[in-house]
Amino acid sequence: MAGFDDLASERSKAQFDVEEMKVIWAGSRHTLEVSDRISRLVANDPVFRKDTRTMLSRKDLFKNTLRKAAHAWKRIIELRLSEEEAAELRFYVDEPAFMDLHWGMFIPTIKGQGTEEQQQKWLPLAYKMKIIGCYAQTELGHGSNVQGLETTATFDPQTDEFIIHSPTLTSSKWWPGGLGKVSTHAVVYGRLIIDSKDYGVNGFIVQLRSLDDHLPLPGITIGDIGMKFGSGAYNTMDNGVLRFDHVRIPRDQMLMRVSQVTREGKLVQSNVPWQLVYGTMVYVRQKIVSDASCALSRAVCIATRYSAVRRQFGLQSNGIETQVIDYKTQQSRLFPLLASAYAFRFVGEWLKWLYMDVNQRLQASDFSTLPEAHACTAGLKSLTTSATADGIEECRKLCGGHGYLCSSGLPELFAVYIPACTYEGDNIVLLLQVARFLIKTVSQLGSGKEPVGTTVYMGRVEQLMQCHCAVQKAEDWLKPSVILEAFEARSMRMSVASAQNLAKFDNQEEGFLELSADLVQAAVAHCQLIVVSKFIEKLQQDIPGKGVKGQLEALCNIYALFILHKHLGDFLSTGCITPKQASLANAQLRSLYSQVRPNAIALVDAFNYTDHYLSSVLGRYDGNVYPKLYEEAWKDPLNDSVVPDGYQEYIQPILKQQLRNARL
Ligand SMILES: CCCCCCCC/C=C\CCC/C=C/C(=O)SCCNC(=O)CCNC(=O)[C@H](O)C(C)(C)COP(=O)(O)OP(=O)(O)OC[C@H]1O[C@@H](n2cnc3c(N)ncnc32)[C@H](O)[C@@H]1OP(=O)(O)O
Ligand SMILES: Cc1cc2nc3c(=O)[nH]c(=O)nc-3n(C[C@H](O)[C@H](O)[C@H](O)COP(=O)(O)OP(=O)(O)OC[C@H]3O[C@@H](n4cnc5c(N)ncnc54)[C@H](O)[C@@H]3O)c2cc1C
């Protein structure tokens, strides 16, 4: 039967050890074991079903999410799951919910910005879920510009309290997930005012709702901000609005790791950089980069399997049509996304390491790598989420008409994913942060301050400004040193050109605004270089398993040459490569697609996704697409009755009217 046979035959063609590739994708044998076990546990639990999500009203959808969250928590306790297993369970439940913000932002904020004492007080309550917290930073009038927040926290020395207040409509907290209907507490960001003096933005733990009856505490107005894009999707989350009318909290509820307010109302700065107030955003951006590979690989898995099952045109001698995956156009759209999923996986792994490293250094009062960590998390968050959002939409198109059906899983995946381009920092705003970092690095070249970390290549500025690409034949593009040099030279030259243009302005801030579109492009070039170089570094590790390394090398080259092809203008205009070398890169890319083609299904099987997680008729492991699509259609509530509700009121009168007209 079509589908079953197609995917089975594809799997038999694989030229590498899929089980070993699963380990590489998961990160370790241990992680694979945990994620495999937990994903099956979730898939086999009827409470975690997802198939009716797009058909529920907002209220039913939300209540169902609450039910799932409560059930997930119950299972975590019953099974005594470790922190790692519990996080996997929430991941595979696959439904945005207040839990994400509680575990993903509220707890990390207290850990990162609270003193030892504050952690001892609040963390046990949060870990046991005796309180539920969210992260209330953004306001109706201020999101990107954190320093523009208007909420005030005024110290009252009489009572040793802060008075939290929303002075204007635009100061209403707006967007925080989990705030609208669930959270009992929030970390609220507001301006610290002491003795009428404004000391800038700080975080405060504020109780919002009664722990007895869940009613808002006096002075607090709170609610949900309304339906968001798509059906199902992010509407399982209660993004909220919050206003304070002179709400009092004890002084010790200001998060005081960065700065402390004494009983006398004196502000004392710690020796840690003030930017640690932004620390949770660095943590979450890092996490978002890892998650990008999950969302993209999920879409790619669906589109790849379906492309092997779907046949159109080109009758072969045996009378069957061509699998659409065999069309070069399909490959040239699909395989770069497959390669990107792997590339984002590895850069995510590296970023996790970088984040852990910066944290260890912070504990030892070494703050030197913080700017690098900020630039990398901001830039890679921007790059990977934009590419993933676009990639999911491309996968929908790769699945033709059926991709538009909710049962393909792609519309909901797209709707749930796209806000990642906005939350945790608008992607353009974040690239501008990277651009500032690059300009600063360039301006310090020659000052004796050597560039470090991901900007180390900038130390070779003279060589990179002059080098000529050595490619003479297509296969030369397979050499990692050739690819790296081309990407380094492009990034170096774009940053230097931006810095030179900026230097022409008397006022640097004005210049920065004027040149911001070019600066963003320079930031993108730098971030793409990081992704390529981390993929290449990954390949230098010991990679066991028959044929695994070869497949990863092909994917790494596809990623790099695809980016080169997409940004050809940059590479040519900076003189990093010649038009002839560009055309050789293209020829090499085509040949790489042919190399990956027989392995495509096995490469997506290596993600080890259950059908439950994919929630896609088109991406089913068994390829049994058509009977299941047919079956799925009949489940739509519209098909509950043969004659639709409304027939008598609305259809019949039209038909009768037409009949009369026809007789006239
Ligand atoms: C199951 C577990 C799941 C866990 C994972 C959870 C995932 C959950 C997934 C989804 C949920 C989504 C929830 C969404 C939440 C949110 O969206 S919270 C709100 C996020 N808001 C933003 O991101 C706002 C973006 N804006 C900013 O970050 C800042 O305003 C700014 C754009 C950086 C500007 O800052 P500022 O006004 O201070 O000005 P600058 O001059 O640019 O910066 C001053 C110096 O500080 C340095 N800097 C800036 N940011 C940071 C940072 N984060 N860390 C370190 N350093 C930073 C900057 O480089 C300047 O340094 P310099 O003076 O040396 O040049
Ligand atoms: C689904 C979702 C969940 C969220 N969850 C939370 C949460 O839990 N807690 C929380 O506090 N917040 C949350 N947010 C808010 C989120 O962090 C902000 O929406 C985000 O930081 C973007 O800010 P903004 O909305 O003010 O966009 P704006 O800054 O208003 O952006 C509008 C446009 O202006 C452009 N722009 C802005 N500034 C500049 C500049 N300097 N230069 C060039 N262009 C610029 C942007 O690129 C964009 O095109 C959430 C948002 C969403 C969508």
Instruction: Report whether residue 73 contacts ligand 2, using a CB cutoff of 6 Å.
Output: no
Distance CA 76, CA 83 (A): 9
CA of 283 to the centre of ligand 1 (A): 10
Q: How far is CA 129 from CA 103, 123, 178, 217, 436, in A?
A: 10, 9, 14, 19, 40
Beta bridge partner(s), residue 221: 243
The sign of the dihedral angle between the CA atoms of 237, 243, 248, 252 is positive
CA of 143 to the centre of ligand 2 (A): 5
Q: Whose CA is nearest to atom 1 of ligand 2?
A: 419
Encode pLDDT of 447-505 as tens digits.
Answer: 988 999 999 999 999 999 999 999 999 999 999 999 999 999 999 999 999 999 999 99
Instruction: Report whether residue 285 contacts ligand 1, using a CB cutoff of 6 Å.
Output: no
Enter the DSSP assignment of 644: P
CA of 176 to the centre of ligand 2 (A): 12
From the list 424, 485, 488, 553, the catalytic residue is 424
Share above pLDDT 70 across residues of the chain, in percent, rounded to a whole number: 98
Nearest to 426 by CA among 370, 374, 385: 385
CA of 424 to the centre of ligand 2 (A): 8
Encode pLDDT of 604-649 as tens digits.
Answer: 999 999 999 999 999 999 999 999 999 999 999 999 999 999 999 9
Whether residue 598 is predicted with pLDDT greater than 70 in this model: the reply is: yes
Can you tell me whether residue 219 is helix, strand or coil? coil
In the block, which residue shows the tokens 């004027």?
Answer: 514
Distance CA 391, CA 475 (A): 28
For the chain, what percentages of helix, strand and coil (3-state, to nearest 5) are there?
A: 60, 10, 30
Atom of ligand 2 nearest to the CA of 426: 22
pLDDT at residue 664 in the model: 53
Choose the residue to mutate in 374, 382, 416, 422 for probing ligand 1, maximizing ligand atoms within 8 Å of C-beta: 374
Residues contacting residue 505 through CB under 8 Å, at least 6 positions apart: 511, 514
Beta bridge partner(s), residue 554: none
Average pLDDT, rounded, for the chain? 96
Instruction: Report whether residue 239 contacts ligand 2, using a CB cutoff of 6 Å.
Output: yes
CA of 428 to the centre of ligand 2 (A): 10
H-helix or E-strand containing 509?
helix 508-514
CA of 426 to the centre of ligand 1 (A): 10
* Inter-residue contact 238 to 226 (CB < 8 Å): no
HSE-up (13 A, CA, CB side) for residue 318: 3
Encode pLDDT of 179-223 as tens digits.
Answer: 999 999 999 999 999 999 999 999 999 999 999 999 999 999 999
Q: Whose CA is nearest to atom 41 of ligand 1?
A: 433
Choose the residue to mutate in 146, 429, 431, 510 for probing ligand 2, maximizing ligand atoms within 8 Å of C-beta: 429
pLDDT at residue 663 in the model: 56
Instruction: Report whether residue 443 contacts ligand 1, using a CB cutoff of 6 Å.
Output: no
* Inter-residue contact 224 to 180 (CB < 8 Å): yes
pLDDT at residue 596 in the model: 98
Nearest to 211 by CA among 271, 150, 275, 132: 132
Residues contacting residue 266 through CB under 8 Å, at least 6 positions apart: 194
Torsion of CA 370, 374, 376, 382, to 10 degrees: 170
**What are the backbone angles phi and psi of residue 106, rounded to the nearest 5°?**
-60, -55
pLDDT at residue 659 in the model: 54
In the block, which residue shows the tokens 């390669």?
Answer: 339
CA of 269 to the centre of ligand 2 (A): 29
Instruction: Report whether residue 103 contacts ligand 1, using a CB cutoff of 6 Å.
Output: yes
Q: Binning pLDDT at 50, 70 and 90, where does residue 231 land?
A: confident
Atom of ligand 2 nearest to the CA of 135: 9
Burial 491-502 (b: 16+ CB within 10 A, else e): bbbbbbbbbeeb
Q: Whose CA is nearest to atom 23 of ligand 2?
A: 143
Complex ipTM over 0.90: yes
Instruction: Report whether residue 272 contacts ligand 1, using a CB cutoff of 6 Å.
Output: no
Encode pLDDT of 379-394 as tens digits.
Answer: 999 999 999 999 999 9
Distance CA 632, CA 644 (A): 18
Encode pLDDT of 286-345 as tens digits.
Answer: 999 999 999 999 999 999 999 999 999 987 777 889 999 999 999 999 999 999 999 999
Instruction: Report whether residue 342 contacts ligand 2, using a CB cutoff of 6 Å.
Output: no
pLDDT at residue 53 in the model: 85
Q: Whose CA is nearest to atom 39 of ligand 2?
A: 429
Instruction: Report whether residue 278 contacts ligand 1, using a CB cutoff of 6 Å.
Output: yes
Atom of ligand 2 nearest to the CA of 427: 47
Question: Domains along the chain?
Answer: 50-270 (2.40.110.10)
pLDDT at residue 660 in the model: 59
Instruction: Report whether residue 514 contacts ligand 2, using a CB cutoff of 6 Å.
Output: no
Q: How far is CA 587 from CA 328, 352, 475, 558, 591, in A?
A: 13, 35, 9, 11, 6
462 is catalytic: no
CB atoms within 10 A of CB 259: 19
Distance CA 625, CA 180 (A): 39
Instruction: Report whether residue 419 contacts ligand 1, using a CB cutoff of 6 Å.
Output: no
pLDDT at residue 318 in the model: 77
Instruction: Report whether residue 94 contacts ligand 1, using a CB cutoff of 6 Å.
Output: no
pTM higher than 0.90, yes or no? Answer: yes
Q: Whose CA is nearest to atom 36 of ligand 2?
A: 429
Nearest to 51 by CA among 617, 605, 623, 608: 617
pLDDT at residue 97 in the model: 97
Q: Whose CA is nearest to atom 5 of ligand 1?
A: 104
Choose the residue to mutate in 135, 239, 278 for probing ligand 1, maximizing ligand atoms within 8 Å of C-beta: 278
Q: Binning pLDDT at 50, 70 and 90, where does residue 150 land?
A: very high
Can you spell out the DSSP letters for 289-352? HHHHHHHHHHHHHHHHHHHHH-B-S---TTSPPPBGGGSHHHHHHHHHHHHHHHHHHHHHHHHH
Nearest to 284 by CA among 187, 410, 141: 187
CA of 463 to the centre of ligand 1 (A): 34
Encode pLDDT of 420-442 as tens digits.
Answer: 999 999 999 999 999 999 999 99
Instruction: Report whether residue 101 contacts ligand 2, using a CB cutoff of 6 Å.
Output: yes
Residues contacting residue 646 through CB under 8 Å, at least 6 positions apart: none
Encode pLDDT of 490-544 as tens digits.
Answer: 999 999 999 999 999 999 999 999 999 999 999 999 999 999 999 999 999 999 9
pLDDT at residue 351 in the model: 98
Ligand in nearest proximity to the CA of 139: 2
HSE-up (13 A, CA, CB side) for residue 146: 19
Instruction: Report whether residue 512 contacts ligand 2, using a CB cutoff of 6 Å.
Output: no
Encode pLDDT of 75-116 as tens digits.
Answer: 999 999 999 999 999 999 999 999 999 999 999 999 999 999
Nearest to 199 by CA among 292, 266, 297, 142: 266
